[in-house]
Chain A
Amino acid sequence: MTSILADSIIVEFPIYGGKSRSLKHTFVRAATGGLLSRNAAERVVVRALNRLSFHFVEGDRIGVMGHNGSGKTTLLRVIAGAYEPVGGTISVVGKVATMIAITLGMDPESTGYENIFLRATIMGLKPSQIAPLADEIAEFSELGDYIHMPLRTYSSGMAMRLAFAVSTSVSADILLMDEWLSAGDAAFSAKAQVRLNSLVDRAKLLVLASHDEKLIRKNCNKIMRLDHGEVVGFEAVSAQPAGRLPFAV
């Protein structure tokens, strides 16, 4: 059963200035103690997520809404497993695919075709799984003979098309998206949307972070509103059948 269960998770980013990151200050602190030590240890902590609790289950299409810096992307990264919360528990059941940084792992000096393997390996595919997909990906990206040219020779649009084609070629139980993906010019974009919609439909659980309410109302059946790392609202989108409410907000 695909689900994401979070119980009062806390994520804090320590902000290390030049001072507390240096060894000297740690030693000085250890040696002096007292008042000075507090000064030397003093560090700013940004609490990105503050006691977040929710329960997402199969069939949920969660739209995470909030201003810049409200914790949307951080939440996605916690679900993806990149950050482990400093407090609380999170349990994620199901295979996760993230569409947060779709060009991650690609190398400008390698050819487009090599980059399919690089990117797909980073996404967790085995070489034997990539080989049958590679030609389909190359064809979908419509790069023609450019697929055998180094990535650095591509325009940014071409590179995005390739990254999009690879990243959307796998299916997963849980799909994490930071803003809706789009790539390429009008003709390609239409094709890309069909592919992305099919990926979203196949996913058992979608978490889409955006500040675009229209987009979220179109694609999601529940909206979670974040502000300063806290849940400030949780609602079902009326047009679609409402799912289960979270056990704690």
Chain B
Amino acid sequence: MIKVDMSPFRQRLNLALKDIKDGVCSFNIWVMLGWLEIKQLYRRSTLGPIWLTISTGVLILGMGPLYGRLLSQDLSRYVPYLAVGIVLWSFISALITESCNSYILAEGFIKELKLPYTVYVLRVVWKLLIMLGHNLVIVVLVLGYFRPSWGWELLLAPFAVLLIAINGLWLGILMGLLSARFRDIPLIVTSLVQIAFFLTPIFWKPSMLGEYQWTANLNPLFIFLEIVRAPLLGEPVHGYLWMAAFGVTVIGFSITLLLFSRYRARIAYWV
């Protein structure tokens, strides 16, 4: 039964929560759509998405020794740092830029079908998780070669990746909604993400900032990057980074729910 009317906030909120819940439960749809996009990358190309892994690998091979020397770092520590950072960055940055198009690209579906909007967001998150899986080859090779001394924190890394993916969910709902309405947003976000690459500690370390080291902690991108990167490199993760990551998650979902419950029904008209 579908019941729709001009309703007070509470009812809209329930519909928004139902959309997210039903969306997550329709995993057979978004898993299929996500795989389909990956398969489309493979079709009629010998290596398909492996090319992305290769280009990431070449970037690390080139940048690692060069920037390691420019910044006078110990290469056996700098190269793994850079490799993990760049692989994670390609995941996080793609989550941010592609989440803008989650609804716009699903226009054909949205205008014909009654599917939870969240399905289209999860399709993007799932696709990018698969692509992260491809790039993990690089992480395994680099870490296998340099062998940092891992601690028990290593077990936290998969959960940290999961937390990033969960944040991809609210980001996709929020940015997808805003981008469907304001078509400038995907363009703005793309250029901001390019700048963010240089402002986020990926090829440089926060400790290089000296007395301004604390400023890195204000960067939410660094927070999520670091809770995965540090355990992989055998470094301790500060508790406040996890706290901050959870904080961002809660705030993100709150803002998203507010806007999503208000404008969910409009998305079909905007795309």
Contacts and interface: CB of A to CB of B under 8 A. Distances in A.
B43 interface: yes
Interface in A67-100: 77, 80-93, 96, 98, 100
Which of B114, B184, B188 has its CB near the most chain A CB atoms (within 10 A)?
Answer: B114
B185 A23 contact: yes
Contacts of B268: 82-84
A222 B114 CA distance: 26
Contacts of B6: 86-87
Interface stretch (B28-36, B137-145, B217-225, B235-243): B28-36
Interface in A19-37: 21-24, 26
A197 interface: no
Interface in B164-201: 181-185, 188
Contacts of B205: none
Nearest to B6: A87
B18 interface: no
A80 B5 contact: no
Given A81-B114, A121-B29, A91 B2 contact: yes
Contacts of B5: 88-89
A104 B110 CA distance: 11
A109 B113 contact: no
Interface string A103-130: 0110101100000011001100011000
A167 B28 CA distance: 18
Contacts of B36: 107, 110, 118
Given A14-B269, A89-B4, A126 B113 contact: no
A117 B29 CA distance: 10
B1 interface: yes
B111 A77 contact: yes
A54 to B, nearest CB: 15
A104 B109 contact: yes
Contact of A85 (B4, B43, B44): B4
A104 B113 contact: yes
B182 A122 contact: no
B182 A121 contact: no
B22 to A, nearest CB: 11
B254 interface: no
A239 interface: no
Q: How large is the interface on A (under 10, 10 to 19, 20 to 34, 35 or more residues)?
A: 35 or more
Given A23-B184, A84-B268, A122 B109 contact: yes
B269 A81 contact: no
Nearest to A7: B5
A83 B271 CA distance: 12
A21 B182 contact: yes
A100 B59 CA distance: 48
A121 B268 CA distance: 21
A13 interface: yes
A101 interface: yes
A14 B6 CA distance: 17
Contacts of B110: 82
B265 interface: yes
Contacts of B265: 84, 86
A126 B184 contact: no
Contact of A92 (B2, B181, B184, B188): B2
B181 A21 contact: yes
B2 A81 contact: yes
Given A83-B268, A107-B36, A89 B112 contact: no
B108 interface: yes
Interface of A: 12-14, 16, 21-24, 26, 77, 80-93, 96, 98, 100-101, 104-105, 107, 109-110, 117-118, 121-122, 126-127
Interface of B: 1-6, 28-29, 32, 36, 39-40, 43-44, 108-114, 181-185, 188, 265, 268-270
Given A84-B268, A89-B4, A98-B112, 12 more contacts: A13-B269, A21-B182, A80-B112, A83-B111, A84-B4, A86-B6, A86-B265, A87-B6, A90-B4, A104-B108, A109-B39, A121-B32
Q: Which 5 A-B pairs have the closest CB atoms?
A: A81-B114, A84-B265, A89-B5, A84-B4, A92-B2
